[in-house]
Amino acid sequence: MRTESPKQLPSDVIVLARFSFQLLFVPALFSIGAFGMMVASHNDALVAAREQWVTGTIVSREPHNHNRYGYQFQVKGETFSGWETPQKDEPKIGQSVRVYFDAQSPAKNALTDFADLADTSRARGIVMLVMCGIFVAVVLLLDRTLGKRRPEKI
């Protein structure tokens, strides 16, 4: 009596099965980034509750560095500065701008309202988490679907 050995899985299926769980490290890293964005959102929301604003002046521009603008402002006679890439209108050097700052620590400041910054960070974090979930689902689905391709028994 002769017995035949079962057929081998195609090499591409074996490689994908081994590779699929390694792919789960990608969403793990993105989840860490999403967690960081959620923490930043929470911190900005805390600052938003106590923020104040003053008029500052645009003093410089770095087009090669994400087109960010430098600004200066004064609080209680002390000069502070900051950098930000404008989310809406691009200011001009010398232009007066509204600068939002933390009343407890004016060194934490922005050209964008902290409530808006919190909303933006939260939205980006949620989008990253959703994309991670979709990525994990696709990897697991492919692994399950292609992993079921077994050799026929004779």
pLDDT of residue 17: 52
The tens place of each residue's pLDDT in the chain, 154 residues long, gives 555 555 555 555 555 555 566 777 888 888 898 999 999 999 999 999 999 999 999 999 999 999 999 999 999 999 999 999 987 889 999 999 999 999 999 999 999 999 999 999 999 999 999 998 898 888 888 777 776 655 555 5
Give the C-alpha distances (Å, rounded to integers) separating 89 from 92, 133, 139: 10, 35, 41
> Could you give phi then psi for residue 80, rounded to 5 degrees?
-125, 160
CA 51 to chain centre: 24
pLDDT of residue 110: 96
